[in-house]
Structure 1
Amino acid sequence: MQAQQPMYISDTNQRLLCTIASTSVFIVSTSIFFDLDGMVVATPIPWNRWGPPNTRIFDHDDERRVHVSGNRVLQTFPVDSSVDRYHMEYMLRMMDFSSLAVTNRRGLGRVVKEPSSVQCSVLGKFEVLTTTLPYVEIVRDRKFGSGQLEDIRLDRDRICVIKDGGYLERDVAGAPQPSRLEVIDI
């Protein structure tokens, strides 16, 4: 008998909202919108009260290479940022923000609870925003060249990588190849 792999189930009470502004990606747990402790909706709640424990902010320069599905975020990151963007290699990082994943990670990835800070322009002035929403991070060790990776998607069980055949791969007659889909099981 084979042991059955536990199926990933997204926690519907802890979905994510993803907003990309300039070179920053804001990940906000939507649970904060449903747990306001009886506060009047019209009462403004200051950022320092709700923001840091319910948010993570990451630097990122390519919005096509960030994808959210349920409690998970898939993001590319450069292997070596000192290389020019035409020769850069990327790796994939999946982050699971579910409280169940943080509590029961079963040896997969690393739990990130330490604060992270990003400098952002807020209403014309620069501020350092520190965020602490915990998550489990899994980094795939496979590398993709900058000309290979066109887009990424994530669903319950798979990472879908859209690879650009374009100028790197040509057919026998020398014509560019169409984009291809590669599926990676999680």
Structure 2
Amino acid sequence: MFARLKSCGRHIALQRTLDVDGSRNYPKPAWQLQIWDWQNSTVLNSVLSDTIPSPYHDLIEFCFLGNDRLLVVTDSLKLYSIEDMSQTPQFLACFQLPIPLSDVHCHLPLDDIEHSSSQLQMQIQQTMYTSDPTHRLLCFTSSYPTTVYIISTRIFFNLDEIAAATPIPWNLWGPSNTRVFRSPFQCKVHISGNRVLQAFTMPDTHDEYKVHMMDFSPLAVSNRQGLGQVVKEPSMIKDTLFTLKTEKVEITSSLPYVKVILDSKFDVRDLHHIWLDKDRVYLLNANWDSPQSGRLDVIDI
């Protein structure tokens, strides 16, 4: 059995995977999500559960989108409202993925999705790389090989009343609201607001990282002011869908962003962690001569 605990604001959620009775006495993997409102009640309020589609038994993840929405990742993205914790979470929409994600992990920005109007006015007056508070990102990483999905959260809030009636195909929501990256080896990723920091291995040697800072804020794209490269053209990666037969899939994405590549290169053995905030990039490098210490590079942006 596997368990994962997450919290956001007044909510705590415990995810478990377990085996349930299946056909012909074979156990069938299932997931269960228990959700509490710890501020207003100590009693379990809500439970979500379902079976895990075969053969993707390692495919289950979830994340909070603010204080009133929950996103569950299985072979698709399922969105629920948790605004009223006296009831079972309300199913809002199902967003289909081009292929199921394997060994998936969710990365949310460090800052909150919700911002006040006063904060909005302050941030609009700041420079090009400042996040637009009306536009946030979430990131899913999938292994074998490493695939990074950057998704604009606006798609999870601009829903019509019939969204829950039928799954929304990838080609209707995905390309314009996502940017998908692929790396043959492990890459590092950190997300803050509208900015994504990624360390990719060099394509010729694979023993060094190049660090890319990407800003997906509409303000950054429209007010570039000569800094960085604006990327608006669609990108495409190829993948394989394994079902009853092997099928080649082309995944196109086109969410625009501004890209800045740091000049320095970093040894893959040394670069342990990367992260960023509003003003700086932080790169933690190992010191193999003194394992108890390391080097922290701080870069203003």
- Which TM bucket (shorter chain)? 0.7 to 0.9
The whole-number CA distance in structure 1 between the counterparts of 2:249 and 2:210 is 29
The whole-number CA distance in structure 2 between the counterparts of 1:133 and 1:176 is 41
Which residue is 1:47 aligned to? 170
Which residue is 2:278 aligned to? 156
| 143 and 45 in structure 1: CA distance in 2 versus 1, 3 angstrom threshold | same
Which residue is 2:209 aligned to? 90
Aligned partner of 1:33 among 156, 179, 199: 156
TM-score normalised to structure 2 length: 0.52
Which residue is 1:62 aligned to? 186
The whole-number CA distance in structure 1 between the counterparts of 2:163 and 2:126 is 41
Which residue is 1:71 aligned to? 194
Contact 1:92 1:139 in 2 (8 A): yes
**Aligned partner letter, 1:108:** L
SS state of the match for residue 13, structure 1? Answer: coil
| 42 and 13 in structure 1: CA distance in 2 versus 1, 3 angstrom threshold | farther
SS state of the match for residue 263, structure 2? Answer: coil
Which residue is 2:141 aligned to? 20
Task: Specify which structure has the bigger relative contact order, considering alpha-carbon pairs within 8 angstroms and separated by 6 or more residues.
Answer: 1
The whole-number CA distance in structure 1 between the counterparts of 2:274 and 2:259 is 17
1:176 Cα deviation after fit: 3.7
Which residue is 2:46 aligned to? none
Q: Is 2:129 aligned against 1:129?
A: no
Correspondence 1:111-150 to 2 at 5 A: 111-122=230-241, 124=243, 125-150=247-272
**Aligned partner letter, 1:96:** D
Contact 2:130 2:217 in 1 (8 A): no
Bigger shift: residues 40-49 or 17-26: 40-49
Which residue is 1:182 aligned to? 297
Q: Deviations over 1:138-171 (max 9, x none)?
A: 11111112222111011111111010112xxx2x
The whole-number CA distance in structure 1 between the counterparts of 2:169 and 2:268 is 40
User: How many residue pairs were aligned?
Assistant: 170
SS state of the match for residue 156, structure 1? Answer: coil
The whole-number CA distance in structure 1 between the counterparts of 2:256 and 2:282 is 25
Contact 2:282 2:299 in 1 (8 A): yes
Which residue is 2:4 aligned to? none
SS state of the match for residue 128, structure 1? Answer: strand
**Aligned partner letter, 1:126:** K
The whole-number CA distance in structure 1 between the counterparts of 2:200 and 2:151 is 20
- Which of the pair has more CA radius of gyration? 2
The whole-number CA distance in structure 2 between the counterparts of 1:40 and 1:114 is 28
The whole-number CA distance in structure 2 between the counterparts of 1:122 and 1:133 is 23
1:119 Cα deviation after fit: 1.7
The whole-number CA distance in structure 2 between the counterparts of 1:89 and 1:43 is 45
Which residue is 2:218 aligned to? 99
Point out the structure with the larger strand share.
Answer: 2
| 44 and 77 in structure 1: CA distance in 2 versus 1, 3 angstrom threshold | same
Contact 2:238 2:251 in 1 (8 A): yes
TM-score normalised to structure 1 length: 0.82
| 67 and 127 in structure 1: CA distance in 2 versus 1, 3 angstrom threshold | same
Contact 2:201 2:268 in 1 (8 A): no
Which runs of 5 or more residues in structure 1 are unaligned?
A: none
Contact 1:116 1:131 in 2 (8 A): yes
Alignment RMSD (CA, Å): 2.0
**Aligned partner letter, 2:189:** V
Contact 1:13 1:30 in 2 (8 A): no
